[in-house]
Amino acid sequence: MGALEGIKVIDVGLLVQGPQAGLLLADLGADVIKVELPRLGDQARWIRFPDEHGKAPFYVACNRGKRSMTLDLRVDTGKEAFLKLVDTADVLISNFKPGTLDEWGLGFETLHERNPRLVYATGSVFGPNGPGADREGADLAAQAAGGLISTTGSDGMPLTPVGVTIADHTASQNMSNGILAALIARERTGKGQRVDVSLLGGQIYAQAAEYTNYFLGGGQHRANCGHPLIHAAYGITQTSDGWIALVGVTPPQRKAFYTAIDRLELLEDERFQPPYWTREVRAEFFAEVADTFTQKTTAEWCELFTQAGTRFAPVNDYAAAAENPLAWENGYFIEVEHPEWGTMPMVGTPIQLSDTPSTPGHIAPELGQHTEEILLELGYTWEDIALMS
């Protein structure tokens, strides 16, 4: 039995922010019903591979383990069925443009009056209040507006976005956390509440330390192959066949580290003495050891640093990361049997619970696959369903 067994979630989310929050709840045992517009469905279904299967990575990744039903919430019959579904639900997830559900007569006040125990979670791009709150956007808008893009790359080089939908992901985690908190509060009060998160808010919160440094007068700096606030042997450097990350060298580890790279003379170099380096010293250190690291492969450095007890990691691409046995043994990757695509790897769940383990769903539903099943659960007859078609 999953931790959220017995919790019913209505997911009317699109793309990543809402659906990924629903995905986590599904992995933890909730019954997540994805409600989509007939014929169109979630926009994520249309970001496809140009192959015979038309695979849609965003949709498959964020919707496995859910049930899909199609309802047109803009017409009376669809709205009536949706309201019956709301009567039975614990959670509603949406990341439509702010005000959309209100325009359809499905806003928080309306649904909360009908089902006072409902947790009503909404996600937006820029937040629910203030000028521009109703603007549309996507992950890139929040990376840009939240300041993240201004931190990437190195001084003198062009800016670049992060190569994943990190703003969507952060907001989805905030949404799922808010939902779980509201469910716990409901145990005390008996009432649900509204949960609001945004892509922009998630990006700012994810950079709390960096913004605090800025507000304290520390300015802002780019990553420069490491982290702008950590002035140490903390960053990535090139090897003969790739890159490796040095994840800090503590004073007790210094001798073993310099021995491993065969640069014991640096142990006594006045520039690199602990405990605190400046940004300039950090840059000098990586310039000093750059040629050294290009003399061996990443695998050779990994072996040497393992023996030395130095903190490190190879800079993997997806192919290398997907071969890491640790990721498989911890369930971060799992193998499933897909009815169309056969045996295939997929991303698992990063949360492990000892008594109520998560169970990642294997298959993302076809559009409307469970519509009749869910309508029958709501008390509709086959005759009723035929009239709705």
Locate the DSSP E strands across 37-131: 67-70, 91-94, 119-124
Identify the burial level of 265 via C-beta atoms within 10 angstroms of its C-beta, where 0-12 means exposed, 13-18 middle and 19 or more buried: exposed
Q: What pLDDT sits at residue 1? A: 84
Q: What is the pLDDT of residue 55?
A: 85
In the structure encoding, which two tokens stand for residue 295, read together? 């003399």
Mean pLDDT of 138-151: 97
Whole-number Å distance between alpha carbons of 78 and 374: 13
What pLDDT, on a 0 to 100 scale, did the predictor assign at position 331? Answer: 95
**Residue 164, number of CB atoms within 10 A of its CB:** 10
pLDDT band, residue 271 (cuts 50/70/90): very high
Would you name the residues annotated as active-site residues?
Answer: 168
Q: What is the dihedral of CA 366, 369, 374, 376, to 10 degrees?
A: 180
CA dist 165 to 23, 199, 248, Å? Answer: 16, 10, 28
Instruction: Evaluate if residue 52 carries a pLDDT over 70.
Output: no
Residues 288-298: tens digit of each pLDDT: 999 999 999 99
What are φ and ψ of residue 123, in 5° steps? -120, 140
Q: Is the pLDDT of residue 63 over 70?
A: yes
* CB neighbours of residue 9 within 10 Å: 23
39: left (phi over 0), alpha (psi -120 to 50) or beta: left
d(CA 152, CA 174): 23
Per residue in 152-195, pLDDT (tens digit) is 999 999 999 999 999 999 999 999 999 999 999 999 999 999 99
With tokens 């909404």, the residue in question is: 122
Q: Is pLDDT of 362 > 90?
A: no
**Are residues 89 and 10 in contact, defined by beta-carbon separation less than 8 angstroms?**
yes
| CATH 3.30.1540.10 boundaries in the chain | 234-321
β-bridge mates for residue 336, sequence order = 344
Superfamily of domain 234-321: formyl-coa transferase, domain 3 (3.30.1540.10)
For residue 53, what pLDDT is reported?
Answer: 67
pLDDT interval class at 286 (50, 70, 90): very high
Supply 244's token pair: 């490796």
8-206+337-388, what's its fold?
Answer: Rossmann fold (3.40.50)
Residue 160 zone, left/alpha/beta (φ > 0; ψ -120 to 50; rest): beta
The conformation of residue 331, written as its DSSP 8-state character, comes to: T
Task: Report pLDDT digits (tens) over 200-231.
Answer: 999 999 999 999 999 999 999 999 999 999 99
Q: What is the pTM of this model?
A: 0.94
Residues of the chain with CATH 3.40.50.10540: 8-206+337-388
Higher pLDDT, 387 or 24: 24
Residue with token string 């580890």: 253
